[in-house]
Chains A and B, each alone.
Chain A
Amino acid sequence: MNQNLQHILDLINESSKLSEDDKTIVHNALKKADKDLVISEFKLERTNKVKRTTAILLEETIEELEQKQAAIKQTNIALNKSLEDLKSTQAQLVQAEKMASLGELTAGIAHEIQNPLNFVNNFSEVSKELLEEMLEELQNGDTEEVNAIANDVIQNLEKIVHHGQRADGIIKGMLQHSRTNSGEKEATDINVLVDEYLRLAYHGLRSKDKTFNASLDTNYDDSVGKLNIVPQDIGRVILNLITNAFYASNEKKKELEKEPSGLNRFQPTVSITTKKENNHIEIKVSDNGNGIPKDIIAKIFQPFFTTKPTGQGTGLGLSLSYDIITAHKGELNANSTEGQGTEIIISLPIKDQDKWK
C-alpha cells in the first residue's frame, strides 16, 4: 500500500477515539483509495509509454518526409531536364520535317532547274557559233548578215539572263524553304505562291513515281492579290496539303486497280481554289481520294498522327501546318466525306494586313 495511506491507516488503528466499526469503514475506504491510486499510476505509466512511442514515430515520420522531399527535388530536376530534352527533340523534329518536305521538293526542283540550265548552255554555245559566223561574214563584207547575227546574239544573251534568273529564283526559294529560323513577313502574291508550290509538288512526285498521274484543276481568283505572310512558311503548308491530296487520290487509284473490274475510269484529281471573302482569303485544296473516317478527322492536326505506313510519314506535316496558319492568325479546317474525298481550307485574315502596308 501507498506509504502515506499506510501512515493514515496506522494512526487510525492506534486511535482510541474511533469505534471498531468506524475503523473498519475508514480501513475499507483507504484500501479502495489505494487500489484507485495503483490503477491511476498504471494508466499514467501507459500513457507515458504511448507518448514516448509517438515521439519516436513522429521523428521517424519527419525523417521519412525529409527523404521524400529530397527525392521530389531530384525528380523535379530530372523532369526539367526531360522537358528540355523534349523541347530540343521537338525542334529537331520540326527541322527534320522541313528537310523531309525539302526532300519531296528536290526532284521537282531538279526538273525545274534542268530546263533553264539547258537553255543557258544551249544559248551560250549557239551564240559562240553565231559570233564565229559573224567574223566570217565581216571578212566577206556582208553587213546585212552581220547585223542579223548580231541581233540574234543580243536576243540570245537576253535569253541567257532570263533563264539564269529563272534558275536563281528556284534555288533562292529552295534555300528559303530549308531555313531554320522563321523568315520575315512580306507582301506575297498568293496565286503565284500557290502555283509555284503546286508545280514543285507535282514534278517531285512524278519523278519519284513514273506512273503517277493526276488531273490538276486550278481556280485562282484574281482579286486575291498580295497578303503579308512569311512566304516560305505558307509555301510549306501549301506543299504539304497538295502532297497529301496527291497521295490520297493516288492511293484510291491504286486500290481500284487491284479490283477485278480492272478497267475503272477513276482519274485522280486535285483541285486548288483561291477566293477572296469579306475579311479573309481562302485557299482550298481538295482531292477525290478515299476521304478521312469520322473517328480520325479530329486527330489529323495532332502531332505524330499519321495514317501512312511506318517510315513514310512523320505525322508532323498537318500539325506544323496548323501551327503556321495559327501564327498568321488564320484558320485551318478540314471537311471530308468518306469515299468521296477531302478538302482542307486555309483561311488567312486580310484585316490585320493594313498594319503592314
Chain B
Amino acid sequence: MKILVVDDEQDVKVLFQQRFRKEIKKGELDFVFAFSGEEAIKTLETIAHEAVLILSDINMPGMSGLQLLEIIKKDYVAPPPVVMMVTAYGDEENFNTAKALGADDFLTKPVDFKLLKEKLIQKK
C-alpha cells in the first residue's frame, strides 16, 4: 500500500524519508509526496489501481486539505482511500469538519511520529 503525504512544506518529504528510514529500507512502507491539493489529485490518478492511505495537511495555499478530503471521499466510490488529516490548528471546528467530510483519523502538529508509525503499520 502506498502512503500519499500532502503538505505544502517541501522539507516534509526529507523528514518522512528519515523518520521512516528503516521501514522504507525494509520495504514495509512506501511513500509518495505531493506539495499541494491539486498535485495530490493528479498523483492519485496515476496510482488509481493501488490501495492508498492519504496523510494530508489542512492549511495549504490553493486547495485546502479539507477541500481535498471532500473531493477524495466523493469521487472515489469503492472503496475510498483512508484519509488522515494533519493540521497546525488542533481545534474543534477543523476536527468536526474533517469528521463530517469522512476523515478516517485526525493528527495535530507537531506530529507524534511514534504514534503515526503504529497507526500506519496497523492500517497496512
Interface string of B93-124 (1 = CB under 8 A from A): 11001000000000001110100000000000
B89 touches A156 (CB 8 A): no
B59 touches A122 (CB 8 A): no
Q: Given A118-B110, A207-B89, A126–B18 Cβ distance below 8 Å? A: yes
Q: Which residue of B18, B93, B111 contacts A210 across the interface (Cβ within 8 Å)?
A: B93
Contacts of B19 in A (CB 8 A): 122, 126
B15 at the interface (CB under 8 A from A): yes
Q: Given A115-B88, A122-B110, A152–B18 Cβ distance below 8 Å? A: yes
Within 8 A of B (CB), among A125-158: 125-126, 130, 152, 155-156
Q: For the side of the interface on A, what is the size category? A: 20 to 34
B91 at the interface (CB under 8 A from A): yes
Q: For the side of the interface on B, what is the size category? A: 20 to 34
B9 at the interface (CB under 8 A from A): yes
Smallest Cβ-Cβ distance to B17: which chain A residue: A152
Q: Which residue of A118, A126, A152, A206 contacts B109 across the interface (Cβ within 8 Å)?
A: A118
Smallest Cβ-Cβ distance to B94: which chain A residue: A210
B11 at the interface (CB under 8 A from A): yes
Q: Given A111-B88, A114-B88, A121-B110, A206–B18 Cβ distance below 8 Å? A: no
A115 touches B9 (CB 8 A): yes
How near does chain B come to A133, taking the closest CB pair, in angstroms? Answer: 8
B14 touches A159 (CB 8 A): yes
Query: How far, in whole Å, are A156 and B94 apart by their CA atoms in the complex?
Result: 31
Q: Given A111-B59, A130-B18, A206-B59, A119–B11 Cβ distance below 8 Å? A: yes
How near does chain B come to A6, taking the closest CB pair, in angstroms? Answer: 121
Interface centre among A119, A155, A203, A213, by most B CB within 10 Å? A119
Contacts of B109 in A (CB 8 A): 114-115, 118
A163 at the interface (CB under 8 A from B): yes
Query: How far, in whole Å, are A2 and B38 apart by their CA atoms in the complex?
Result: 128
Query: How far, in whole Å, are A152 and B88 apart by their CA atoms in the complex?
Result: 26
Contacts of B61 in A (CB 8 A): 216
A123 at the interface (CB under 8 A from B): yes
Q: Given A206-B59, A210-B93, A123–B15 Cβ distance below 8 Å? A: yes
How near does chain A come to B66, taking the closest CB pair, in angstroms? Answer: 10
How near does chain A come to B101, taking the closest CB pair, in angstroms? Answer: 14
Contacts of A123 in B (CB 8 A): 15, 18
Query: How far, in whole Å, are A134 and B55 apart by their CA atoms in the complex?
Result: 29
How near does chain B come to A344, taking the closest CB pair, in angstroms? Answer: 24
How near does chain B come to A202, taking the closest CB pair, in angstroms? Answer: 9
Contacts of A155 in B (CB 8 A): 14
Contacts of A206 in B (CB 8 A): 59
How near does chain A come to B113, taking the closest CB pair, in angstroms? Answer: 8
Query: How far, in whole Å, are A115 and B97 apart by their CA atoms in the complex?
Result: 22
Query: How far, in whole Å, are A156 and B9 apart by their CA atoms in the complex?
Result: 15
Name 28 A/B residue pairs within 8 A (Cβ), A-sorted.
Answer: A111-B59, A111-B88, A111-B89, A114-B88, A117-B110, A118-B111, A119-B9, A119-B11, A119-B15, A122-B15, A122-B19, A122-B110, A122-B113, A123-B18, A126-B18, A126-B19, A155-B14, A156-B14, A156-B18, A159-B14, A163-B11, A203-B59, A206-B59, A207-B89, A210-B91, A210-B94, A210-B97, A213-B64
Using A115-B9, A130-B18, A210-B93 as known contacts, list a sample of 4 further A-B pairs with CB atoms less than 8 Å apart, ordered by residue number in A.
A115-B88, A121-B110, A122-B19, A152-B18
Query: Lowest 3 CB-CB distances: which A-B pairs, in order?
Result: A118-B110, A210-B93, A126-B18
